[in-house]
Amino acid sequence: MPSKQIDQPLLILGTRTLAAEIADLASEVAGVHVAGFVENEDRARCEETLEGLPIHWIDDIAGMKDSHVAIGGLMTTHRGRFADQVDAIGMPFATLVHPTARISPTATLADGCIVSAGVIIGAHARLGRHVFVNRGALIGHHTEIGELTSLGPGVNICASCRIGERVYLGAGAIVVDHLGIGERSVIGAGALVLEDLPERVTAVGHPAHIIKRDIDGK
């Protein structure tokens, strides 16, 4: 399904290069007005601007919770801490979909999802909160993706897959049909996943094989 209309000014969580990329993406979505960025680690950043827009300290946006909406601007799956801070403030999250993406009307995108240019999402796919789908990625029909998962450019997840929460899939990774990947796992760029993978592992290669265990995501 396409994103719902974003009627309120948008704040992007993050102040690094990906945040600027998200602002660029948002500039091509009809009706979206980016009002600024939010920082939660280095307050000195708030003395600067990014893309000509103000940078707000996380605690200072509480007064905007009824007039603005937020979207993530970090690729790391640890962005969940930032999302939790905004949830505690009570500011709602938008869902941002680039106009060149094709999303099945039977697919479901939860709040906070970002779908970049050239993405295709198949029938009955389900994306949890704060899933980031970078440019040109493909998500097959009946695939479920857990919250805070990140898909790099050109990732191809085939049909009926189950991707856990906070998984990181590097650019060009391929996951074949009917497979599962456990939460907080990291799949290297260009990896070819041909079998189920457990939680909290790093897998790389062609075919993908596990090189680390008991990790905490990326």
Q: Which residues are catalytic?
A: 141
Contact 155, 134 (CB under 8 A): yes
DSSP 8-state secondary structure symbol assigned to residue 206: T
Q: What's the Cα-to-Cα distance from 47 to each of 57, 60, 105, 210, rounded to whole Å?
A: 10, 13, 43, 44
The per-residue b/e assignment along 106-127, b for 16 or more CB within 10 angstroms, e otherwise, is ebebebbbbbbbbbbbbebbbb
DSSP one-letter string for 126-190 = EE-TT-EE-TT-EE-TT-EE-TT-EE-TT-EE-TT-EE-TT-EE-TT-EE-TT-EE-TT-EE-TT
